[in-house]
Amino acid sequence: MKDLIKIREISAKYDISARTLRYCEDMGLLTSKRSNDYAYRLYDSCNIRRLEQILILRRLNISIKDIQRIFRTARPISSGLRRTERPSGSGRWKTG
């Protein structure tokens, strides 16, 4: 359970309630890790980044339903935009 963060620590760091984190998990936006011998919900770095994205989108007044749609249709970063080199040294953004 290395590099996993407890729900209480995330709640304090981002000034959100544990209930909000559980709600995001219930809505399928986050996933926690739990083992049989450890009752706490634990979150990895990917889920922390996802939570940060959710919080930004919520500050922009984007609804949870719309955030679900965004994450459902979003491509992974590795298949998104990439920079292609040109002989002149300038580059253009090209979709994937």
User: How confident is the model at residue 3, as a pLDDT?
Assistant: 85
Handedness of CA 68, 73, 79, 82 (dihedral sign): negative
Q: What is the pLDDT along the chain (96 residues), one digit of tens a residue?
A: 568 999 999 999 999 999 999 999 999 999 998 877 777 889 999 999 999 999 999 999 999 999 999 999 876 654 444 554 444 444 455 544
User: How confident is the model at residue 92, as a pLDDT?
Assistant: 52
User: How confident is the model at residue 21, as a pLDDT?
Assistant: 93
User: How confident is the model at residue 12, as a pLDDT?
Assistant: 95
Burial 57-94 (b: 16+ CB within 10 A, else e): beeeeeeeeebeeeeeeeeeeeeeeeeeeeeeeeeeee
User: How confident is the model at residue 55, as a pLDDT?
Assistant: 96
